[in-house]
Amino acid sequence: MSREQFFKIYLRQSRKGIGIFFLFCAVFLCIFLLYDLPAGAVVYPALICSVLGAGVLARGYYSAYQKHRELDRIAQLSSELMEHFPEKRTAADWDYQEVIGHLREEQSSLKNQLDMRYTDMMEYYTVWVHQIKTPIASMRLMLQNEDSDQARRLSEELSRIEQYVEMVLVYLRLDSESKDHVFRKCDLDQIVRGEVKKFAGQFIRRKIGLRYEPLGCEVLTDEKWLAFVVEQVISNALKYTEEGEIAITLEEPRTLCIRDTGIGIAPEDLPRIFEKGYTGYNGRADKKASGIGLYLCRRICTQLGHRIWAESAPGVGTVIKVDLEREELQVEWHWHEKVLTQM
């Protein structure tokens, strides 16, 4: 709220007192006129009363504005820090602060309950993910002994199940207050090759070409989380590419590009593909899209200090670009180093 807005609100709240003041001034003026007093005897007292009234009004405004600024400052703090309220001067101040105190206690209790529920849910799903990976690994070992088209297809479906299981864990970890990010210089080629290797069977079986040249680039990132982003993008590229190739290149200065020759994305869908649950026309036609993969990629890139966007044309293909420059987080990194040095 601006100062002008507060002043208008204060005048509106004080209009009763201002009205009573002018009413008394009018009454006294009438009395003085009825007694036919000299003009000086009327004007001077009226001016003095006006000055005193304006002084009282200004002091009241200053006091109210100071209280407003203090409350506005407190409102910017978290509920745990809302302790130093302005001095209680009226019964209303006591009542309001008592109500706020009760609400704060209730909010703190609800927050603790939600934290406990979230912790229980995280523990349950973490155990579930690890448990379900065991039978998946067993089935994969069984399929390795068979060399048939059906076995390869089943292996691909198992890989897809593993992706969905991993997405569940990633989705939960992103909302966790304790992020397990480990930033270090990573070889981008090593990350990309590791993820491409997971889809080697699909490239061969579906006869989709792969154009990849060594990127020769190191980036400051979290290897595990960036690998998940690359995996999701390659998976999407394969899903919507029937023929042609997928190209993985690096644009200056450090922008990873994963380009496919698939069906492309409609212009009306392109601005929304990173929204949670949005599948667009292609996803509705495919009936296998969850609308979660690219949403998670956007959130991960935001947390890593990277930027991700898409360029596409229907019938031509899509390119997903990830800008791996991290100037802002580098500044934050150096700030933490400076603080640790001072400690």
**Nearest CA among 323, 320, 304, 322 for reference residue 312:** 320
Q: How many of the other CB atoms lie within 10 Å of CB of 202?
A: 19
Band of pLDDT at residue 306, cut at 50, 70 and 90:
very high
Res. 335: pLDDT tops 50: no
Does 204 score more than 90 pLDDT? no
Question: DSSP H helical segments within the chain, as ranges?
Answer: 3-13, 15-34, 39-75, 91-144, 149-174, 188-198, 200-205, 223-239, 280-286, 293-304, 327-342
What is the tens place of the pLDDT at every residue in 317-331?
Answer: 999 999 998 744 443
pLDDT band, very low/low/confident/very high, at 20 (cuts 50, 70, 90):
confident
322: closest CA among 241, 212, 234, 205? 234
Which pLDDT does position 309 carry in this prediction?
95
Q: Which of 192, 176, 177 is nearest to 226 (CA)?
A: 192
Using the structure block, give the residue that is written with the tokens 């154009």.
211
Cα separation of 193 and 180, whole Å? 23
Q: Give the lowest-confidence range in 199-203, 297-301, 321-325.
A: 199-203
Region 293-321: what's the mean pLDDT?
Answer: 92
221 close to 207: Cβ distance less than 8 angstroms: no
Looking at residues 281-303, what average pLDDT do you find? 77
Q: How far is the C-alpha of 329 from the C-alpha of 321, rounded, in Å? A: 19
Tell me the β-bridge partners of 307: 323
Q: How many CB atoms lie within 10 A of CB 188?
A: 21
On whether the 186-343 domain is CATH 1.10.10.1200, my answer is no
Residue 341 — very low, low, confident or very high, per pLDDT cuts 50/70/90? Answer: very low
User: 170-196, pLDDT tens digit by residue?
Assistant: 887 777 655 678 889 999 999 999 999
Give percent above pLDDT 70 in the chain.
Answer: 80
pLDDT of residue 219 exceeding 80, the answer is: yes
Are the C-beta atoms of 257 and 225 separated by less than 8 Å? Answer: no
State residue 283's pLDDT score: 56
- Mean pLDDT, residues 91-108 taken together: 72
- What pLDDT is recorded for position 205? 85
Which of 143-152, 176-185, 216-225 ranks highest by mean pLDDT? 216-225
79-95 pLDDT tens trace:
555 555 656 666 666 66
